Homo-oligomer: A and B are copies of this chain.
Amino acid sequence: MTQPPIARYKQVAADLRAAITRGDYQPGQRIPASSELAERYDLTMPSVNKAIRLLATEGLVDIAHGSGTTVRERRPVISVSASYVTKHGDEARAQWSTEVNRHGMAGSQQIRQVDTVTPSAEVSGYLALDDDAHVVVRRRLLYADSNPVQLADSYYPAAIAAETELAESGRMPGGTVAALERLGYVLTRFDERVEARMPTHEEVGLMRLQPGTPVLRHLRVTYAAGDVPVEFSEAVMNAERHALAYQLPAEV
């Protein structure tokens, strides 16, 4: 109730945050209208708005223009597992539809781009390419039940993928891992890296991300016999809909 030390809209935000955390407002339930909150706290609407927007950027509420503001619901999480470590059958490989089916949803994908391009420095570095080398890029948008939830881009050295099915804009039976094996590459190891960040403006649009939703960024370099990098892939996922799972043996 201090006046200047702490902004009043922050007090309102704190009150609402506590109420939500306490469970006074359940997920999916509406919080009071801004006009009502304005009256209750003796503030003007723009100030109350500020409080509510703050909670939205914290991922606590969803603001829907003409309808009200609701406590954000935890949507089903797709647990993507590094299954290629333990199993090896074709159907055990990390296939999008398989992963999504396991969670009772329908997986689908839209191939956004298949092209031969000059790689960025990052891609070039991960694939250990010469400066003048080109890559085949495959960009996909993955859906769970008609919701776009993941951007998956894969890169292959042109020396490996040009003129192969990897450079064609069709689906890959068995996934790209199978395609690489059909080309005679024996995969030996995967180097993975997981990061998180706020989405770019473009990613917000493509995956229809709400404010206050971060993305998981999953990078992977696939090596074939002789320690040759044959694929670099980057997946950017709606972090509210994804988790990554690893089963690691303690071993040796």
Tell me the A residues contacting B by CB distance below 8 Å: 14, 17, 57-59, 77, 79, 82, 84-86, 88, 187-198, 201, 211-216, 239-240, 242-252
A37 to B244, CA, bound (A): 42
Quick one: given A197-B214, A214-B197, A214-B214, are A192 and B248 in contact (CB under 8 Å)? Answer: yes
What copy number does this chain have within its complex? 2
Please, which residues of chain B bring their CB within 8 A of the CB of A188?
249-250
Residue from A17, A193, A196, A212 whose CB has the most chain B CB atoms within 10 Å: A196
Quick one: given A17-B201, A85-B248, A88-B252, are A216 and B189 in contact (CB under 8 Å)? Answer: no
A211 to B10, CA, bound (A): 14
Closest to A249 in B: B189
Q: Is A214 within 8 A of B196, CB to CB? A: yes
Q: Is A243 within 8 A of B198, CB to CB? A: no
Please, which residues of chain B bring their CB within 8 A of the CB of A194?
194, 216, 243-246
Sample 6 A-B pairs with CB under 8 A, ordered by A number.
A14-B201, A193-B243, A193-B244, A193-B245, A195-B243, A198-B212
Closest to A46 in B: B46
Q: A57-B198, A194-B243 are in contact. List 18 more A-B contacts (CB 8 A).
A: A17-B201, A58-B198, A59-B198, A77-B195, A82-B248, A84-B248, A85-B248, A85-B250, A188-B249, A189-B248, A189-B250, A191-B248, A192-B245, A192-B248, A195-B244, A196-B196, A198-B214, A246-B248
A88 to B88, CA, bound (A): 26
Please, which residues of chain B bring their CB within 8 A of the CB of A82?
246, 248
A208 to chain B, nearest CB (A): 16
Q: Is A197 within 8 A of B240, CB to CB? A: yes
A71 to chain B, nearest CB (A): 14
Please, which residues of chain B bring their CB within 8 A of the CB of A84?
248, 250
